[in-house]
Structure 1
Amino acid sequence: MDFWQAFDWRNIPQNNPQSIAPKYITPDLIKHINPNIKIILMIRDPVERLYSHYIHDKRFIIRELDADRNIPDDLYIRRISDKKVDPETFDEYVKSSIDLYIKCIREYGIRGCLYGMRIFYDKRLPLVAGLYNEFLKDWLRVFKKEQFLIIKFEDYIKDTGGVMAKVFEFLDVGMY
């Protein structure tokens, strides 16, 4: 989540908290501390990731809204309705989320939507988490591409040993 969820950027003193989008984000802070860092990023098919997030959120909400619990009235709880968990509802959520993103991008631009809290909480599903290319642009602005190892989750599932060998090689550490 450090890759895409940089919502506290307004707390970085070099950023203008009134801005729509940040000038400095997580990679800038990391580079200040460790400029030679090696970054391993595991990405997942964006649709599969989104559906998994949908199932997770729905289960979280159903579990947390148990009558015996005192749940605060926060934005996270309100963003998922009490509709049942099924492919049709997922499809409905995706369509409404896409509509919200289109409106947001027209008004605030892509970075304003990626890093703005409002779109994250107003939408039904976090489409931003699957926009790997947009966040990678920000990270590549700070770090060289040689500092990244990008792994597809699906490859890791198919060949865990082979992927881990690549990780060890990337980190320049032995297999044993």
Structure 2
Amino acid sequence: MKALSIKDIALKANVSITTVSFIINGKAKEKSISDAVIKKVQQIIIDSGYKPNQIARSLRTGNSNIIGLIVEDISNSFFARIARLVEDKAYKKGYKIIYSSTENNVEKAQELINLFKSRKVDAYIISPIKGIEEEIQILKDEQKPVIFFDRNLPALNTNYVGAN
């Protein structure tokens, strides 16, 4: 069965696409949409199992609500614990985490950064390795938040979290 779009919901509810969008995005009251219309649209959404297209939303808003976490080896207990803490904190703020391991391979790290860029992640948390400075500088030039942890590349003047 084809997933329902906002247009499909609007047709079923006999309202405009804009009205459905306002209801989905929590702006119905400020746009003076009646309670009856809100209830009708919300019921169609519930009955149909509608889920917003996150890619379309991120293209529209410029935010994916995804953070990229790049470490040496996610199966290493140190990195796994860090990943869990980051995931818990991020989830509470409405973000999801994409994890990946570089295996201390520069080419793989560069590929991962570029993959995450193509997925429009909002921020990067990285245990960096030498050789990715150019990619990090590009992220910084694009105003993407980048945080290093465990290791630092001081020449890049990036936020860093470490332990003594």
TM-score calculated relative to the size of structure 1: 0.24
With structure 2 as the length reference, what TM-score do the two structures score? 0.25
More helix by share: 1
Larger radius of gyration: 2
Structure number having the greater strand percentage:
2
